[in-house]
Structure 1
């Protein structure tokens, strides 16, 4: 296997990140895989985990790669963002929101704020003195929603 110079690996990563920022993880995946073969670093783990989960449907492998990057760099908000994206793909919305909130505690980013807005936050229960799970709260909330007052 022929090793590429460090600047070529940096260019691969840069092109992959540009593809991801333009919303094309399919184009970023082979670039990240080539860069990963040359040098192993936490950023590659994180972005590769997201791309694998998004394009190949390998959510468990993607989550494991993102968690591995968080073990090495727990204060990097990009790793939290990629983990949240993987969790969103897996249909684990509450866990994705928790990962995004940890990312905001680590410094945040505009991408994290945008994804938090997309995932949304729940409105407070109609009767705040009762728990959210109370049937009365559920039915009043449904009723208010149908009437258009909520």
Structure 2
């Protein structure tokens, strides 16, 4: 297939993903890869969509890491890897990927996600240390009640 057609699939997938329709984006990225357009960007997006829609987070991480091996300086791949880590509830892995991506270059979405994931709420009782037993359990209770 022509590279122009592959680019169209990729652009449509990115557009659908931006609109929040990961399932349609997944179809477009799969078509682009099957058409011979296994670019790092396409593989990275495909990995994220597979993890989000099919729940295959291990496969999604592998695709993102392959994209990073081919194009290590692109913060987009780190962003998609971090999103997959967050789907797995691996906050440490997500923070590591986001920090590495921020070191590679400027990406507004990456910076916003790093700010969101990396920031901690203030302790419930500010006069006690953050690790104090009362602060830890009060924070858990308030969070579960939706008061925090």
Q: TM-score range by the shorter chain?
A: 0.7 to 0.9
Between the aligned partners of 1:56 and 1:143, the Cα distance in structure 2 is 35
- Give the superposition deviation at 1:114: 1.8
**Residue in structure 2 matching 1:87, options 77, 81, 85:** 85
Aligned to 2:25: 28
- Give the superposition deviation at 1:24: 1.4
- Give the superposition deviation at 1:113: 1.6
Between the aligned partners of 1:93 and 1:61, the Cα distance in structure 2 is 18
Count of aligned pairs: 137
User: What are the ranges of 5 or more consecutive residues in structure 2 without an aligned counterpart?
Assistant: 143-147
Aligned to 2:50: 52
Aligned to 1:116: 114
Q: Normalising by the residue count of structure 2, what TM-score does the alignment of the two structures yield?
A: 0.82
RMSD of equivalent CA atoms: 2.3
SS in 2 for 1:81: helix
SS in 1 for 2:59: helix
Q: Deviations for 1:14-45, whole angstroms, at most 9, x for unmatched residues?
A: 11011111221111001000000122211111
- Give the superposition deviation at 1:143: 7.0
Give 1 or 2 for the bigger CA radius of gyration.
1
Note closer, same or farther for the CA distance 1:86–1:143 as it changes in structure 2 (3 Å cut): closer
